[in-house]
Amino acid sequence: MEGLFQPMHLLLIVAIALLVFGTSKFAAVGKGLGEGIRNFKSAMKDPDAEKEEAKKAELKKQEEEKKV
C-alpha cells in the first residue's frame, strides 16, 4: 500500500460522484468552487479594495433613492 489517494482511486471517486450527482450538479459545484477560490485570492491581494467597492455601492444606492 503506497497511499490512500492514488490516481486510480481519485478517478474512481470522481466517476462515482459524476454518476450520483449528474453533470449539471457536478458543473455547478465546480463553478461555485472556482468562484470561491477566485474571491478568496482577490480578497487576500487587496482587502482595502473591497471596502472601497462597498462604499461606492452604498453611495450609488443613496443617489438612486434620492432620484425616486
Lowest mean pLDDT among 19-23, 33-37, 47-51, 64-68: 47-51
Q: Note the pLDDT tens digit of each residue in 6-29.
A: 889 889 988 998 898 888 888 888
Mean pLDDT estimate for the chain: 81
Residue predicted with more confidence, 26 or 34: 34
Q: Is the pLDDT of residue 1 over 60?
A: no
Residue predicted with more confidence, 56 or 13: 13
Helices (H) and strands (E) in the chain, counts: 2, 0
Contact indicator for 22, 13 with CB cutoff of 8 Å:
no
Q: What are the residue ranges spanned by the domains of the chain?
A: 21-67
**What does each C-alpha distance from 55 to 7, 35, 59, 67 come to in angstroms?**
47, 23, 6, 19
- Residue whose C-alpha cell reads 479594495 in the numeric block: 49
